[in-house]
Amino acid sequence: MQVVRGVADLKSLRSKMRGKYSRVGLVPTMGALHEGHLSLVQRARTIADQVAVSIFVNPAQFGPNEDFHRYPRMLDQDLALLEDKGVDLVFIPDVSEVYPDGYKTFVSVEELSQKLCGMTRPIHFRGVTTIVLKLFNLVQPQFALFGQKDAQQCVIIQRMVQDLCLDVGIVVCPIVREADGLAMSSRNHYLNPAQRKAATVLYQCTEWARQKVAEGEKQTETLLSEIKSKIGKEPLARLDYVAIVDENNLSRVTFLQEKALLAMAAFFGRTRLIDNTFLEPQK
Ligand code: AMP
């Protein structure tokens, strides 16, 4: 496994990796790796000849009062996990090389970036699309893999790829969960035992909604008000938002006719967690 820190080193290695028949799969991450990240690596193995993983805690996607400085960083452990999974290349750029003095260019997917998580995190997705595009340019992968855990991110990146005619196949992988249903997240490290227990309310709400839809419920307001009430009853949770939206344009759905995305975010102490599921109404 090659570990590369500098952009110049990456470029020279890249030309060697991209042989005539070699397909590169890129898994962008912010590190503090868990089974969710590793599921993307495993999937990459099945579709690409070379697997590249980036580890970069991207300051551009954190707001001024968010957790950039305390975001978990555990590089040695991450590298051991990636080595074990047979990753070919790990790219760990320095902030000063990604955003050197005088850096001015950002990529923003309009409208989609302002909805859902964008209401609370107004610059977040601009930071995500900027770093993802930059990583695509640097690594030049044929495929890039993302987790459905960050459903809005997947929609926005797919939009960017389509809008900018990028030659990268986007592969979205299912959410990996803990045994009690909590979606795996590097931010779960922040939770104390009581918050960790309370955080399962998100998964319970997604499952409850899926069940109601399977029973025939189609009015999204009925589902949303019950989810608000369930989260409201959890004393350690503070709801940020819950919404049922079109899976492609993220606009609100009032009556479930097609598959739709149920997405939510809530704070447990200072820790903001997200979860989502697809709701598939009976025809
Ligand atoms: P992050 O390091 O949080 O930026 O995540 C890197 C990638 O891993 C993103 O594409 C995430 O959607 C994905 N990911 C994070 N958690 C999970 C999970 N529990 N299941 C599946 N994918 C995940």
Per-residue confidence (pLDDT) for residue 20, from 0 to 100: 59
Residue 69 falls in the annotated catalytic set: no
pLDDT band at 43 (very low <50, low <70, confident <90, very high): very high
What does pLDDT average to over the chain? Answer: 97
CA atoms of 91 and 185, how far apart (whole Å): 21
pLDDT band at 56 (very low <50, low <70, confident <90, very high): very high
pLDDT band at 187 (very low <50, low <70, confident <90, very high): very high
Q: Is the CB of 146 under 6 A from ligand 1?
A: yes
Percent of residues, the chain, with pLDDT higher than 90 = 95
Mean pLDDT of 26-43: 98
Per-residue confidence (pLDDT) for residue 123, from 0 to 100: 98
Q: Is the CB of 175 under 6 A from ligand 1?
A: yes
Per-residue confidence (pLDDT) for residue 260, from 0 to 100: 98
Question: Which residue's CA is minimally distant from atom 13 of ligand 1?
Answer: 147
Per-residue confidence (pLDDT) for residue 36, from 0 to 100: 98
Q: Is the pLDDT reported for residue 220 higher than 80?
A: yes
Per-residue confidence (pLDDT) for residue 27, from 0 to 100: 98
Encoded tokens for 239: 């709801």
69 alpha carbon – ligand 1 mean position (Å) = 19
- Select which of 34, 37, 69, 189 is catalytic: 37
Mean pLDDT of 32-58: 97
Q: Is the pLDDT reported for residue 16 higher than 90?
A: no
Per-residue confidence (pLDDT) for residue 214, from 0 to 100: 97
Question: Which residue's CA is minimally distant from atom 12 of ligand 1?
Answer: 147
Per-residue confidence (pLDDT) for residue 174, from 0 to 100: 98
Q: Is the CB of 187 under 6 A from ligand 1?
A: no
Q: Is the pLDDT reported for residue 54 higher than 70?
A: yes
Give the residue from 249, 19, 273 showing the smallest Cα distance to 156.
249
- The pTM for the full model equals 0.97
145 alpha carbon – ligand 1 mean position (Å) = 9
41 alpha carbon – ligand 1 mean position (Å) = 11
pLDDT tens digits, one per residue of 79-131: 999 999 999 999 999 999 999 999 999 999 999 999 999 999 999 999 999 99
Q: Is the CB of 58 under 6 A from ligand 1?
A: no
Q: Is the pLDDT reported for residue 151 higher than 70?
A: yes
CA atoms of 86 and 74, how far apart (whole Å): 19
Q: Is the pLDDT reported for residue 21 higher than 90?
A: no
217 alpha carbon – ligand 1 mean position (Å) = 30
Per-residue confidence (pLDDT) for residue 61, from 0 to 100: 98
Mean pLDDT of 61-70: 97
